Each structure stands twice: as structure tokens, then as C-alpha cells.
């Protein structure tokens, strides 16, 4: 029987893995749990997972070189998320350890959150609600409808494509900026980023976080946006220069902003920016629905089922270097 270690702390196990996925792993072998009630340090993880062939990792658990170099029984490190930026894949490969990642199961969930954010920003729903909660009656202010407005989508990946379809369905003019993709949709307009920013009423940031996109939305980019436009970030905090965003809000150049991500721990919005009166912020929950979480956790179980048979599953990122899989084929 395979030995599997789950790194998720209790709350994360409940919200980001679930009972069905736990049962699926238990059907494959002995499952050990993180009993510390918090994230484990790498040294703690090495000790807790000693003797395990597979580690199933929560997104905040780093896969550091120290772990891979000091886990002689470890065959695979399986991330129950897409983001593996904190996993040292080169060292895992050097040690013959397989690394896997999950696919995006949160496309619809995140895109729906963005639609909600656009409606909230354009109609001042949260602001009015906050005044009512103080026992006062808010002023009735003129809002903006989405139909007829221009939506600018930065990044044409899976969420970006879905977001564009939702925008079109609501009667919006939809612009896209992505230097790595070509539009095959006649209703979409592809533009360079400065042009998109200058024409959009709502700018939605969905680009991938890389070194090239670090602070993609900086002071120059915010200055290019239409006066009175709204900015929404549901990708990663790395893409935004937060000081520049705050300045654009303070100056009145932007009418408002919605953030589900930022530079705080676990990619959450920074509290200092989140409390700005023109900001709507949520704690990295756009993808937190049962459907999206089960997509990734059950996919991780399916990957584990292949791994315990000594096979590299779909989602493997270094299959050619995963020499330790042979240990399981012999078991």
C-alpha cells in the first residue's frame, strides 16, 4: 500500500480538498494528515512525511530543495493547484522526484466573481450597503450598466476566454490584450495594452504572473486608463504596483477597483489597500466554490492513482526526470 501525506492544515483540508477527495486517497493507501493545525515548515514536513512515497500539497506548502534532498522515499510531490512557483522543480528532477499540478477548475467561478465585481463597482452596491449598516440612508447615485460599456481583458487564457464570452453575452464591447495569443473570435478586438487601457470602462487583469508581467499595471499603465474607469484584479498580486494603484484611486483618476488578490500572504489583497474607500476586496475567494475545489482535489486523486502504479499522470511537469517512479512499478 502506498503511503500518502496531505500537507493541508485542518481548515484548508475542509475548504480546499474535501471529504470525497480524502476518501479517494484512502482507497489508494495509507493517508497521513498534517496534525499541527498550521502550515508545516520544511523541516517539519520532512519529518512528518518520512517514509511516504507521495506528498499531496496545499498551495501554500513550498516544495523546497531541502525537502527533495532529504526525503529518500519520496516519489512524487503533487500540488493540488495550478501554481507551482514555490516548488523547486529543478531539484526535484535532480533527485528523480515527480512534480504534478492540477488544471484550472475555477474558470467559471472566477469569471462569475468578476461579473459580480463589475456590477458592484458600476452600481455602488457595497458602498450603499455599508451606509445602510450604519443606520443611515445612502444617497441614490447614478450607476453604470454593463451593456454598451467596454470591457478590456488582459490575458487570453482559460479564464480570459470565458470572461470575454460573458462580456459579449451581456452586450459589452470586448477588447483583449495578450502578446502570446491571437484572437479567432470575430466579435473580439485585439489591441496592444496601452490602447486597451485607454478605451476600456472596466479593465480586468487575468494575465499569468511571470517575471515579464511583474508590476505590469504600474503608474504609466494606470495613467493610460480612461478617467473614471474601473480596475479589477483576479489574477495575482504580482501584476500590480500597489502604490501606483493607490495613487490612481486617491487622485480620482480611477473611479474604483475590485481585488481578490494582492501581495499579502496567500496572494490576498493587502489590508492597507483593501480598506481604501474606492476598493472592493475579497480574501482570494473567487475560485472558492465546491465545484472548482472538487475539480482540482479529485484530479489530484486521479493523479495519485496513476502515481501509485508507477506511471506519470496527466499534469506531470517533469515526467522525463521522474526516475523514482520505477520504485513503485516494482512494488
97-141 tens-digit pLDDT: 999 999 988 999 999 999 999 999 999 999 999 999 999 999 999
Print the domain residue range for 130: 107-281
Helix (H) or strand (E) holding 200, with range, is: none
Distance CA 209, CA 213 (A): 6
* pLDDT the model gives residue 73: 96
Beta strands in the chain (DSSP E): 2-6, 29-33, 54-57, 76-79, 98-101, 150-154, 173-177, 189-190, 202-205, 229-233, 254-259, 279-281
- Tally of domains in the chain: 2
Q: Give mean pLDDT, residues 180-184.
A: 86
Residues 52 and 88 in one domain: yes
Q: What pTM was computed for the model?
A: 0.86
Residues 48 and 178 in one domain: no
* pLDDT the model gives residue 154: 98
Residues 121 and 100 in one domain: no
Residues 211 and 119 in one domain: yes
* pLDDT the model gives residue 323: 96
Residue 26 pLDDT greater than 70, yes or no: yes
Distance CA 183, CA 295 (A): 28
Residues 323 and 230 in one domain: no
Distance CA 89, CA 80 (A): 15
Residue 182 pLDDT greater than 90, yes or no: no
Q: What is the CATH number of the domain that holds 62?
A: 3.40.50.720
Residues 100 and 121 in one domain: no
Residue 181 pLDDT greater than 80, yes or no: yes
Residues 196 and 271 in one domain: yes
Residues 200 and 141 in one domain: yes
Residues 91 and 8 in one domain: yes
Residues 118 and 227 in one domain: yes
Residues 178 and 325 in one domain: no
Q: Give mean pLDDT, residues 254-258.
A: 98
Q: SS3 for 140?
A: coil
How many other C-beta atoms are found inside a 10 Å radius of the C-beta of residue 135? Answer: 6
Over the stretch 186-225, which tens digit does the pLDDT of each residue have?
999 999 999 999 999 999 999 998 899 999 999 999 999 9
How many other C-beta atoms are found inside a 10 Å radius of the C-beta of residue 325? Answer: 22
Residue 329 pLDDT greater than 80, yes or no: no
Residues 6+ apart with CB under 8 A from 299: 102, 103, 105, 315
Residue 311 pLDDT greater than 70, yes or no: yes
Higher local confidence (pLDDT), 182 or 157? 157
Rounded to 10 degrees, what is the CA torsion of 181, 187, 118, 161? Answer: -30
Residues 129 and 238 in one domain: yes
Cα-trace Rg, the chain: 22
Amino acid at each position: 500500500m502506498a503511503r500518502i501525506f496531505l500537507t493541508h492544515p485542518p481548515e484548508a483540508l475542509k475548504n480546499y480538498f474535501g471529504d470525497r477527495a480524502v476518501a479517494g486517497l484512502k482507497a489508494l493507501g495509507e493517508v497521513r494528515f498534517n496534525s499541527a493545525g498550521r502550515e508545516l515548515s520544511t523541516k517539519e514536513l520532512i519529518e512528518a512525511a518520512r517514509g511516504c512515497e507521495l506528498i499531496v500539497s496545499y498551495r501554500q506548502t513550498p516544495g523546497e530543495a531541502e525537502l527533495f534532498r532529504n526525503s529518500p522515499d519520496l516519489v512524487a510531490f503533487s500540488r493540488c493547484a495550478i501554481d507551482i512557483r514555490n516548488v523547486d522543480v529543478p531539484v526535484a528532477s535532480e533527485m528523480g522526484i515527480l512534480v504534478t499540478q492540477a488544471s484550472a477548475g475555477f474558470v467559471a467561478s472566477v469569471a462569475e466573481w468578476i461579473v459580480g465585481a463589475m456590477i458592484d463597482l458600476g452600481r455602488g452596491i457595497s458602498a450603499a450597503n455599508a451606509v445602510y449598516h450604519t443606520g443611515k440612508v445612502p444617497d441614490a447615485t447614478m450607476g453604470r450598466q454593463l451593456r454598451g460599456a467596454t470591457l478590456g481583458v488582459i490575458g487570453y487564457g482559460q479564464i480570459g476566454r470565458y470572461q470575454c464570452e460573458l462580456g459579449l453575452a451581456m452586450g459589452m464591447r470586448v477588447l483583449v490584450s495578450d502578446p502570446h495569443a491571437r484572437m479567432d473570435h470575430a466579435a473580439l478586438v485585439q489591441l496592444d495594452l496601452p490602447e486597451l487601457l485607454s478605451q476600456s470602462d472596466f479593465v480586468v487583469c487575468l494575465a499569468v504572473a511571470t517575471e515579464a508581467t511583474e508590476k505590469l499595471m504600474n503608474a504609466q499603465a494606470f495613467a493610460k486608463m480612461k478617467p473614471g474607469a474601473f480596475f479589477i484584479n483576479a489574477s495575482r498580486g504580482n501584476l500590480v504596483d500597489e502604490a501606483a494603484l493607490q495613487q490612481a484611486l486617491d487622485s480620482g483618476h480611477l473611479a474604483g477597483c475590485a481585488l481578490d488578490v494582492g501581495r499579502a500572504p496567500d496572494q490576498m489583497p493587502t489590508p492597507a489597500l483593501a480598506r481604501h474607500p474606492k476598493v472592493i476586496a475579497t480574501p482570494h475567494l473567487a475560485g472558492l466554490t465546491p465545484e472548482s475545489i472538487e475539480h482540482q482535489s479529485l484530479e489530484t486523486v486521479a493523479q495519485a492513482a496513476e502515481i501509485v502504479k508507477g506511471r506519470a499522470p496527466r499534469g506531470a511537469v517533469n515526467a522525463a526526470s521522474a526516475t523514482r517512479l520505477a520504485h513503485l512499478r516494482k512494488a
